[in-house]
Structure 1
Amino acid sequence: MTTPETLLPLFPLRTVLFPGGRLQLRIFERRYLDLVRDCARGGSVFGVCLIVDGDEAGGVATPAAIGTSARIVDFDHLPEGLLGITIEGETRFHTGVARVRDNGLITASVRWLHDGAQAVSAEHGLLVRLLETLLENGGEGLPDALQLDDADWVSYRLAERLPMQNAERQALLQLDDAGDRLDRLLAWLSRDPAQAG
């Protein structure tokens, strides 16, 4: 049985949003102001994808094929009349056919990629301890609910907080298995610093 596809407006960014993660955005382009208005009225979500080519503002950017749906959880009025929003990542997706509207907004058919309920294995215990330390010393406060036994949650929170390149974060987002994601994080931590970049 195939998963039905959904038509989703996309917001390409120069960052990676993970399920359960939060981002603060400044909205000033008409296409994205309209997107925010429509999502706020209908309580709907939009897709956030890493930009692989192009710019965030102005023209049409090329988004990565795999992204995360985002729900608006807070609004703020910023200086110079800009709108600020806080979004929270929900579900990974894979984009299909994409179209560009007259106003430059990209919409795409998406297939949802649901994470499984996978516990953190003993071999990844070091990563849980590292995440606990990062959360305690991060300065932004602890998440509402710690899920340190959930392999997906641990891998996503580490990917957000470790000083990785966006391409590395995107590669982690694209992995379907949380154990593979944690293995990749262990490999990243054991790299020779001279090889990092």
Structure 2
Amino acid sequence: MLNLPPRRNPAAEPQKLSLFPLNAVLFPGGTLGLRVFEQRYMTLVKDCFKRESAFGICLIAEGAEVGAPAQPHPVGTEARIVAWDMTQPGILNITVRGEGRFRILSSEADREGLLQARVEAIAAEADMPVPEALAAALLPLLQAMVADAGAERLPPPHRFEDAAWVGYRFCELLPIPPIARQKLLELEEPISRLEIVFKFLAQRGLVK
């Protein structure tokens, strides 16, 4: 009998991904509205529609959103287009939903100035409940924030029982600098993320 080597997990294999560097951080399960007008990003969006594929959103480390290709932080989130409209010629408004996180292995700009990267997927955080002590302090506040944000920004399902989901939503909604959001995105322990969120809120007298 021929013994075949074990199959490797395709998610662990490096993949090619077009990047859209921004002065914003997208979290898994979150939504973000984008205004697209540069030709390179129009091309990206058309390609995503054609292939029914995602692209990568990364926080800019050096450079700007417009003009020469920016240098992104190494960890980003896959973004899938869930809605679009064109209210004026040459400007496309899209809404994207965050999927899994990824780490950039290498990247280079193509002829249009669009960053093309080799990336590896970062394993999704395991489902785990919010610890009881943190849940009592954090969940009532988050539930109020989600209700205030509305279903358009935070569509259901709302997974208040899941530590990763709760942490990501706080990271989106709290008024914190983009680089702080980036550090929280890069954390791989959902409870550690929640503990940081709790300390942030406690320092401002919002939770006890």
Q: TM-score, normalised on structure 1?
A: 0.92
- Matched with 1:146 is 158
Q: Distance in 2 between matches of 1:192 and 1:41?
A: 47
Indicate yes or no: 2:57 matched with 1:45.
no
Indicate yes or no: 2:202 matched with 1:190.
yes
Instruction: Give RMSD over aligned pairs.
Output: 1.6
3-state DSSP of counterpart to 1:78: strand
3-state DSSP of counterpart to 2:203: coil
Cα deviation 1:72-95 (Å, max 9, x = unaligned): 111101235311111110001111
**Which consecutive residues of structure 1, in runs of 5 or more, have no partner in the other structure?**
none
* Counterpart mapping for 1:2-17 below 5 A: 3-17=12-26
Number of positions where the alignment pairs a residue of Structure 1 with one of Structure 2: 193
Deviation at 1:138, TM superposition (A): 2.6
- Matched with 2:95 is 86
- Matched with 1:110 is 119
Q: TM-score, normalised on structure 2?
A: 0.88
**Which consecutive residues of structure 2, in runs of 5 or more, have no partner in the other structure?**
1-7
Q: Distance in 1 between matches of 2:46 and 2:120?
A: 24
- Kindly, what percent of the aligned residue pairs are identical? 39
What letter matches 2:108 in structure 1?
R
Indicate yes or no: 2:179 matched with 1:170.
no
Instruction: Give 1 or 2 for the bigger CA radius of gyration.
Output: 2
3-state DSSP of counterpart to 1:72: strand
Deviation at 1:116, TM superposition (A): 1.3
What letter matches 1:117 in structure 2?
D
Q: Distance in 2 between matches of 1:187 and 1:178?
A: 14
Large movers: runs of 4+ above 6 Å: none
3-state DSSP of counterpart to 2:146: helix
Of 70, 73, 78, the match for 2:79 = 70
